[in-house]
A and B are shown apart, each in its own frame.
Chain A
Amino acid sequence: MKDMLDIIVNIFPYAIAFTVPLLITALGGLYSERSGVVNIGLEGLMVVGFFAGAVTIKALEVAIPNFSIVIGLVVGTVAGVIFSLLHAFASINLRADQVISGTAINMLAGALTVFLARTITGSGNIGIRLGIVRWDVPLLSKIPVIGPLFFSNTYYTTWIVLIIWGLSWFLLYKTSFGLRLRACGEHPHAAASAGVNVIRMRYIGVMFSGGLAGLGGAVMIATYAGEFNGTVAGLGFLALAALIFGQWKPLGILGAAFFFGFARTIANASQVIPQFESFPPLVLKIFPYVVTLIALVLFSKSSKAPKASGQPFDLSGK
């Protein structure tokens, strides 16, 4: 029992570090889908934030080491917003197939960032010297059991992301803005006839998803990645799975993101954890994906997906 607790305490910081970009990106996807736009471009938007964050931090880390990371996070977010406009324009104004447009975003982000990175550094990789330093929350980290688990060795970005998560829940469910946004994803024509500007709300939804996915990518470079290498290795797609697994609800997404974060961390650390040594590594690696498929089968009968998600909105077709 004592060993088990030690193991959990040891892998917890890694699992959280991995969960946070996943959580914030899935949350971004929530805004987009709730407004009625499917965004499978999350992967690409993360790559954009990852790249923009890395470039910014690298450029500033010598001159202003104290602020370079914060500025990098902001630039990553902004870059995500700007890039997401491509998706918004295609799927909202031009009524393009949203899945294809999202695929184009993924391909474009992967190719363009490496193209630019190679122009900047020659190799295509952008390394930063130092990420965010882990930090023990004063007082709270002294609490037995909970302290070492949740409040020791944390990145400040984890707290920022959790605050954004809480604010998002409030925004989506307790404000008129949230009600309008969700209405656009369920019944855009009803929302329009009630005076909601569906086009604008959908733009906001997609831009939020771009910003949060960009932040997710920037958090990666600022915490555990250390180097931009042109890919976020399927994390954006996993965020999409977390969104569905969490049934398009903030609390569900939080749970799903933690689940995937832990599953992936255990798979990566299985060699050093005696309790998991007996599992074939393949089983541990494919576990999150297989579970997602099973969850999709179980939930498909009672899917809580926004009803109009993926459907173009055309005012003239009212």
Chain B
Amino acid sequence: MKKDYTGIVKSLGAVLLGLIAGAILMVAIGANPFKGFFFLFRGGIQSIERFGNVFAIATTLILTGLSVAFAFRTGLFNIGAAGQMLIGGLCATVVGLSFDSLPRIILLLFMFVAALLGGAIWGIIPGLLKARFNVHEVVATIMMNWIAYWVVYYTIGNYFTAGLETESATLPAVAQLRLPWLTKLLNGSYLNLGIVISVLAVIVIKFILDRTTLGYELKAVGFNRHAARYAGIKVNRSIIMSMMIAGGLAGLAGLTYYTGYSTNIQIGILPNQGFDGIAVALLGATSPWGVFFSASFFGLLHAGKGFMSANTGIPPQISDTIIAIIIYFTATSLFIEKLWKKFKAGRAEKKKISTGGDEQ
């Protein structure tokens, strides 16, 4: 059997078009795109510290990307990763600040569980509303995002600030995912224990999807809800389970971001990583390892943008713009797919002619 590369080609095509659009934008504001991209990518890989930061940024994106991708597999669009991530971060921060006298390993474990549960609860609510009342999950998760925003705003703002009113107190070293030896090894990079969590999550999610009954049922519901119901799969339960796991993954993203990449939680911000997770999931064709690679690529774009901006004067938002354009082209991938099929058909045609029509 021939391997089907359509998924990879679609993703690479979208990336290419996104980069081209980014180049056009650079030209439009009078900058040199070659210089721009040179500094953008060099900013991500020129030193071991920066290279570590690529994966420090990717850590969170892998988890929000997995969250969106997992829900996608059940046919659900989780636009609420941002809110679930916030609540996960809130729970972890509250535990970290309140029980800092516990031994480190136990404290981190508690924070892990708190973030997982917090995110899962924030995911279960829209799941329940969808399963029980057929409320569209897109609208429900958007509402949950804003509820999370205000819950964090007042919980942190009223009880956990120190000094600045707009952010929580800084977590003590025992309650951070950062490892001093790793930070030292990578010359001060933000890379932390979170990367282990996210890679493990990739492996676990891949296992659930490919090797378990639960994964099979969730995918069946995603393919065809009615057929799945007819086959005896409990569709409502699958929807709730899927949103719960998606929420838990996003909650862990909050753990890695607010207690690893950052060391406190800021209020009044819906984290962009939640929405970038949609782009990561789509670019990764909703497969766990696809998510890993696309998150790493976005990590590269984000890690280098400050360096590029400092050296070329191009605003750092070019990275976010390129990511947004990539997701637009992924959404319209039918277009790329058609081109690819045409190209393949054209090649097959040529082959046929050159080999005298023996091919298939």
Verify that A and B bind, or say they do not: yes
A interface residues (Cβ-Cβ under 8 A, vs B) = 40, 86, 89-90, 94-97, 99-101, 103-108, 110-112, 114-116, 118-119, 124, 234, 237, 240-241, 244, 280-282, 285-286, 289-290, 292-293, 296-297, 300-301
Binds A, one of B227-235, B245-253, B287-295, B328-336: B328-336
A289→B143 contact, CB < 8 A: yes
B interface residues (Cβ-Cβ under 8 A, vs A) = 25, 29, 77, 79, 129, 133-136, 138-140, 142-144, 146-147, 150-151, 153-154, 275, 278-279, 282, 315, 317-318, 320-321, 323-325, 327-328, 330-335
Given contacts A94-B335, A95-B334, A107-B279, contact A240 B142 (CB under 8 A): yes
User: Which of A101, A116, A296 is B332 in contact with, Cβ under 8 Å?
Assistant: A101
Question: Which A-B residue pairs are the 3 nearest by beta carbons?
Answer: A111-B320, A108-B324, A107-B324
A293→B140 contact, CB < 8 A: yes
B331→A297 contact, CB < 8 A: no
- Report the nearest A residue to B327, measured CB to CB: A104
A104→B139 contact, CB < 8 A: no
**Chain B residues whose C-beta falls within 8 Å of the C-beta of A289 in the assembled complex:** 143-144, 146-147
User: Which of B142, B279, B324, B332 is A112 in contact with, Cβ under 8 Å?
Assistant: B324
**Chain A residues whose C-beta falls within 8 Å of the C-beta of B144 in the assembled complex:** 289
**Chain B residues whose C-beta falls within 8 Å of the C-beta of A286 in the assembled complex:** 146-147, 150-151
- A110 and B321 CA atoms in complex are apart in Å by 8
- A190 and B345 CA atoms in complex are apart in Å by 35
Given contacts A86-B328, A119-B29, A241-B143, contact A293 B135 (CB under 8 A): yes
* Least distance between A42 CB and chain B CB atoms (Å): 11
* Least distance between B65 CB and chain A CB atoms (Å): 14
User: Which of A86, A107, A281, A285 is B323 in contact with, Cβ under 8 Å?
Assistant: A107
B323→A96 contact, CB < 8 A: no
A104→B331 contact, CB < 8 A: yes
- Report the nearest B residue to A238, measured CB to CB: B146
A111→B321 contact, CB < 8 A: yes
10 extra interface residue pairs, beta carbon distance < 8 Å, beyond A293-B143, A296-B136: A103-B327, A111-B320, A118-B317, A124-B315, A237-B142, A282-B154, A289-B146, A289-B147, A296-B133, A296-B135
B151→A115 contact, CB < 8 A: no
User: Which of A90, A111, A118, A292 is B324 in contact with, Cβ under 8 Å?
Assistant: A111
Given contacts A94-B332, A103-B79, contact A241 B323 (CB under 8 A): no
Most A CB within 10 A of own CB, among B282, B315, B335: B315
A101→B328 contact, CB < 8 A: yes
A96→B151 contact, CB < 8 A: no
**Chain B residues whose C-beta falls within 8 Å of the C-beta of A96 in the assembled complex:** 331-334
- Report the nearest A residue to B149, measured CB to CB: A234
- Report the nearest B residue to A116, measured CB to CB: B29
**Chain B residues whose C-beta falls within 8 Å of the C-beta of A280 in the assembled complex:** 154
* Least distance between B236 CB and chain A CB atoms (Å): 14
* Least distance between A266 CB and chain B CB atoms (Å): 14
B318→A103 contact, CB < 8 A: no
**Chain A residues whose C-beta falls within 8 Å of the C-beta of B29 in the assembled complex:** 116, 119
**Chain B residues whose C-beta falls within 8 Å of the C-beta of A234 in the assembled complex:** 146
B138→A40 contact, CB < 8 A: yes
A108→B328 contact, CB < 8 A: yes
A-B CB contact pairs (8 Å), 9 listed: A101-B331, A112-B25, A115-B315, A234-B146, A289-B147, A292-B139, A293-B140, A296-B129, A296-B133
- A240 and B141 CA atoms in complex are apart in Å by 13
A107→B327 contact, CB < 8 A: yes
**Chain B residues whose C-beta falls within 8 Å of the C-beta of A290 in the assembled complex:** 143, 147
- Report the nearest B residue to A120, measured CB to CB: B29
**Chain A residues whose C-beta falls within 8 Å of the C-beta of B282 in the assembled complex:** 100
* Least distance between B21 CB and chain A CB atoms (Å): 10
User: Which of B25, B154, B317, B330 is A114 in contact with, Cβ under 8 Å?
Assistant: B317
**Chain A residues whose C-beta falls within 8 Å of the C-beta of B146 in the assembled complex:** 234, 237, 286, 289
**Chain B residues whose C-beta falls within 8 Å of the C-beta of A104 in the assembled complex:** 324-325, 327-328, 331
* Least distance between A225 CB and chain B CB atoms (Å): 17
- A280 and B155 CA atoms in complex are apart in Å by 12
Most A CB within 10 A of own CB, among B129, B143, B153, B335: B143
**Chain B residues whose C-beta falls within 8 Å of the C-beta of A119 in the assembled complex:** 29, 315
- A1 and B200 CA atoms in complex are apart in Å by 62
**Chain B residues whose C-beta falls within 8 Å of the C-beta of A103 in the assembled complex:** 79, 275, 278, 327, 331
B133→A300 contact, CB < 8 A: yes
**Chain A residues whose C-beta falls within 8 Å of the C-beta of B153 in the assembled complex:** 282, 285
B331→A90 contact, CB < 8 A: yes
**Chain B residues whose C-beta falls within 8 Å of the C-beta of A114 in the assembled complex:** 315, 317, 320
**Chain A residues whose C-beta falls within 8 Å of the C-beta of B279 in the assembled complex:** 107
- A108 and B25 CA atoms in complex are apart in Å by 13
**Chain B residues whose C-beta falls within 8 Å of the C-beta of A86 in the assembled complex:** 328
**Chain A residues whose C-beta falls within 8 Å of the C-beta of B330 in the assembled complex:** 100
**Chain A residues whose C-beta falls within 8 Å of the C-beta of B325 in the assembled complex:** 104, 108
B135→A300 contact, CB < 8 A: yes
**Chain A residues whose C-beta falls within 8 Å of the C-beta of B333 in the assembled complex:** 96
Given contacts A281-B154, A286-B150, contact A118 B129 (CB under 8 A): no
- Report the nearest B residue to A87, measured CB to CB: B328
- A244 and B275 CA atoms in complex are apart in Å by 22
A293→B327 contact, CB < 8 A: no
**Chain A residues whose C-beta falls within 8 Å of the C-beta of B140 in the assembled complex:** 293, 296
Given contacts A104-B327, A108-B328, A296-B140, contact A115 B318 (CB under 8 A): yes
Given contacts A282-B151, A300-B134, contact A100 B143 (CB under 8 A): no
**Chain A residues whose C-beta falls within 8 Å of the C-beta of B324 in the assembled complex:** 104, 107-108, 110-112
Given contacts A40-B138, A296-B133, contact A108 B321 (CB under 8 A): yes
